[in-house]
Structure 1
């Protein structure tokens, strides 16, 4: 991870490196130019030193000739040594353009030194006239040396004229180059600074936008920040917070939905009870009347009427139970038979009931008043409208993990709209002489009771009857949860 502090240090180091590079380049060029100037100046000084040394030698010779002492002779020898040293320095200035002139120049210096030695020797031999003549010759040679020095200087000036001009041109080009370098570096630093600032401000803007989205309650959008510094860590923390809040909201909504379903279940049960109670007028008084009529019919020899009254009393007593309590499939089958006995007395030979029941499956738990409304629906829509009547088949079989309960009729069938409405639990008004418990109500209570959606199938078509299949789990989900809680 590249931190913001490291980015700032990188920018500072880059600026310092560029400044140091420019300073080193300018220092190197200035030093090189200065060295070239010093070299040329040293050439001129060496030539001028030869002229000064030759004059000093002639002057020392004159003093010695006038006063021939050991001190003046020593001074003359020192002047000669200086002239020889100056001659050696000038010898190093030889090049292709001054070769001939410099050779003559060196010869003149040798001639001056030789003439000086002869003048001293003549003086020591007391040949004054010869000594004076050689002194005059030495003086003339010294003047030649001075003139030759000027000539050599002129040659040097002509030789280095182009160099001077090139230095001036280089200085001008360097000035232009410096301006371009300054502009380029300025432009580059501006670009780099813009990129550098953007690498900091862009993640901050992205993080600010994400925070605004969170403030608006949009917790489903993922927080994405393109950064490799501390802002990335901050964005990751924000993303974790968003996920935790989103999960918390999901849990709250889930709990609210479950509470709503529970409340809906309570209202549904209350509604079913109220619809069932609409037909109740003093139930115990009604049961007593039915029992009295049943006994009276039996005493009068009307056994069929007595059995019918017993079935009616049993059916009413079962319907008045609380619907929120589970019953066994055995109870539902028993009530269904009582209901069919009453309907058989009504329709006589028009109603035919066929049952195929596996007795081992009758212990399974089921909501109260589940089977009767389905059979009642078949009686109302398949038997009652038909003059010839029809057959209702009830089958209970073992389906492995569930008990398969099938109610089929051979009536005119059910429309697709009604079939879909029942499966989608839309409220359907009870038709005919029903007990008041609608088919959609049965479907809703089954799904709430078992906690699964795939608990019922309806197969129907125009003219081919209706086949209702209930898949009743042998073990309820709530029972498993209770067992797990007990084990925990």
Structure 2
């Protein structure tokens, strides 16, 4: 969930929640106000009827004092108003005041009839009836006023418990509203703190990590980001960027190491070349002279030495094919054969399909040299060195085996630990004490193919040694 989505969810929910609280408070107040309005409307209606009764009585008195058309019309108008009020009074009837409303309505009807009787007696000139009915109308008006007060008391008594309940409910709702507002405010603060921390804390950890990385500490562990928002994307992207930088630096370091190893070999070759052109020319002269004198073996040996030196002095940073390396190995064996004669036998088992495999220059010769110098040199006869090359599904298998003196386990492990620069001192004169030469080969193979675990050594003392390469397929 993105930060924007969190805000869009949190803020509307908070507003809706507050609106619900205010709505219930408003409804409670409205209910109380409506009940109060109903009660007041009834009380005002009762009072209006009582007042209109008195007005009717006064207008009747004015007509009696001054009987004319104007006072009669005024009386009839007020009488009509009282008739309407008397008809509407039924609307205020309820279970608690039904009897009183009926009596009140009957009193109004009686009052109106008495007024009509007064008018009729006046028109007939009957003074006694006129006086009697007018006196009765006054009494009825007084009864109506008293009944109006009774109805008001009933209304107040009826609405008082309801009013008290509404007031109590309103107070409770107000208290609940205040509590909810306080709780909502507190919850909003907590959510705001949590939301801000979910943003600032990961950013703070990323800043601290970036400072460590800026100091060159690429091994710094990245803080976990559990949220699934922009901060997570930023953290993952930053982590990927750091990994890419680290990998690039590792490649640069490996490239520098590879160049160093190549330069080391070139330096050794330069130390041994001593005016190579003069040496090549001299060897060619010796070869031709030996050929003229009929010394074919001497001539062939001289050519092999010349080829060997020429191969060793080439650019070591340029890869060669496995076929070229094997030809170079054969030249080296020819030279060693002149020294060891029939004491050593050189066997090759080569698959033609593997000869186009690309390999670093001068990979096989150092291993062969170790096999001769430190493996079979002390054997009187029966020495065998075997080179086996096979192409398999995803790699080329190369092994160089000898049946010489072998080596102990400590020495074998030391040769395979490429992070160590030196061979143990107590192994400096026995077995395969190749020093940097052998390790240089192993390390250059890993740098060249950009993979590890390409080399294996099998060896037992007095039983011989086998050096195995598993080279990933790589052709020109």
Same fold, TM exceeding 0.5? yes
* Cα pair 2:347 2:386 within 8 Å, conserved: yes
- 1:285-434 residue pairs with structure 2 within 5 A? 315=305, 318=308, 321-322=312-313, 324-325=315-316, 328-344=325-341, 351-356=343-348, 373-385=366-378, 389-395=381-387, 399=391, 406-425=399-418, 427-428=422-423, 431=429
SS of the residue corresponding to residue 160 of structure 1 reads helix
Give the Cα separation in 2 of the matches to 1:133 and 1:270: 157
Would the alpha carbon gap of residues 432 and 420 (structure 1) be closer, same or farther in structure 2, given more than 3 Å must change?
A: closer
Q: 1:423: Cα distance to partner?
A: 3.4
| Number of positions where the alignment pairs a residue of Structure 1 with one of Structure 2 | 438
Would the alpha carbon gap of residues 60 and 174 (structure 1) be closer, same or farther in structure 2, given more than 3 Å must change?
A: farther
| Partner of residue 182, structure 2 | 187
Note the residue ranges of structure 2 that are not aligned, 5 or more in a row: none
Would the alpha carbon gap of residues 309 and 472 (structure 1) be closer, same or farther in structure 2, given more than 3 Å must change?
A: farther
Give the Cα separation in 2 of the matches to 1:175 and 1:442: 92
Would the alpha carbon gap of residues 3 and 38 (structure 1) be closer, same or farther in structure 2, given more than 3 Å must change?
A: same
* Cα pair 1:405 1:471 within 8 Å, conserved: yes
Q: 1:379: Cα distance to partner?
A: 4.4
- Write out per-residue CA displacement over residues 71-125 of structure 1, whole angstroms, 9 at most, x where no aligned residue: 2x65246425533542552354355322346435533541342243123212xxx
- 1:114-129 residue pairs with structure 2 within 5 A? 114-122=117-125
* Cα pair 2:412 2:457 within 8 Å, conserved: yes
- Write out per-residue CA displacement over residues 128-164 of structure 1, whole angstroms, 9 at most, x where no aligned residue: xxx3322321332133213322442243144224125
- 1:89-104 residue pairs with structure 2 within 5 A? 89-93=85-89, 95=93, 96-98=98-100, 99-100=102-103, 102-103=105-106
| Partner of residue 143, structure 1 | 138
- Write out per-residue CA displacement over residues 152-197 of structure 1, whole angstroms, 9 at most, x where no aligned residue: 2243144224125236514632551353243144225414632663
- Write out per-residue CA displacement over residues 273-303 of structure 1, whole angstroms, 9 at most, x where no aligned residue: 54x579x9xx96xx89x979x98xx99xxx9
| Partner of residue 157, structure 2 | 162
Note the residue ranges of structure 1 that are not aligned, 5 or more in a row: 65-70, 123-130, 481-488
* Cα pair 1:413 1:461 within 8 Å, conserved: yes
SS of the residue corresponding to residue 93 of structure 1 reads helix
* Cα pair 1:47 1:90 within 8 Å, conserved: no
- 1:2-401 residue pairs with structure 2 within 5 A? 2=5, 19=22, 22-23=25-26, 26-27=29-30, 29-64=32-67, 71=68, 75-76=71-72, 78-79=74-75, 82-83=78-79, 85-93=81-89, 95=93, 96-98=98-100, 99-100=102-103, 102-103=105-106, 106-122=109-125, 131-166=126-161, 168-170=163-165, 172-173=167-168, 175-191=170-186, 193-194=188-189, 197-198=192-193, 201-206=196-201, 208-209=203-204, 210-217=206-213, 221=222, 224=225, 226=227, 232=230, 236=233, 240=237, 243-244=240-241, 246-271=243-268, 274=271, 315=305, 318=308, 321-322=312-313, 324-325=315-316, 328-344=325-341, 351-356=343-348, 373-385=366-378, 389-395=381-387, 399=391
Would the alpha carbon gap of residues 75 and 435 (structure 1) be closer, same or farther in structure 2, given more than 3 Å must change?
A: closer
Q: TM-score with structure 2 length normalisation?
A: 0.70
| Partner of residue 483, structure 1 | none
Would the alpha carbon gap of residues 363 and 33 (structure 1) be closer, same or farther in structure 2, given more than 3 Å must change?
A: closer
Q: 1:337: Cα distance to partner?
A: 2.4
- 1:453-472 residue pairs with structure 2 within 5 A? 456-469=455-468
Give the Cα separation in 2 of the matches to 1:108 and 1:360: 138
Q: 1:319: Cα distance to partner?
A: 5.6
Give the Cα separation in 1 of the matches to 2:351 and 2:45: 132
Give the Cα separation in 1 of the matches to 2:99 and 2:186: 54
* Cα pair 2:397 2:471 within 8 Å, conserved: yes
Give the Cα separation in 1 of the matches to 2:360 and 2:80: 137
Would the alpha carbon gap of residues 396 and 83 (structure 1) be closer, same or farther in structure 2, given more than 3 Å must change?
A: closer
Q: TM-score with structure 1 length normalisation?
A: 0.68
Give the Cα separation in 1 of the matches to 2:359 and 2:163: 111
Q: Which structure would you say has the larger RCO, counting Cα contacts within 8 Å and 6 or more residues apart?
A: 2
Greater Cα radius of gyration, structure 1 or 2: 1
Q: 1:358: Cα distance to partner?
A: 6.0
Give the Cα separation in 2 of the matches to 1:92 and 1:404: 116
- 1:431-450 residue pairs with structure 2 within 5 A? 431=429, 438-444=437-443
| Partner of residue 127, structure 1 | none
* Cα pair 2:328 2:365 within 8 Å, conserved: no
Q: 1:53: Cα distance to partner?
A: 1.4
SS of the residue corresponding to residue 221 of structure 1 reads coil
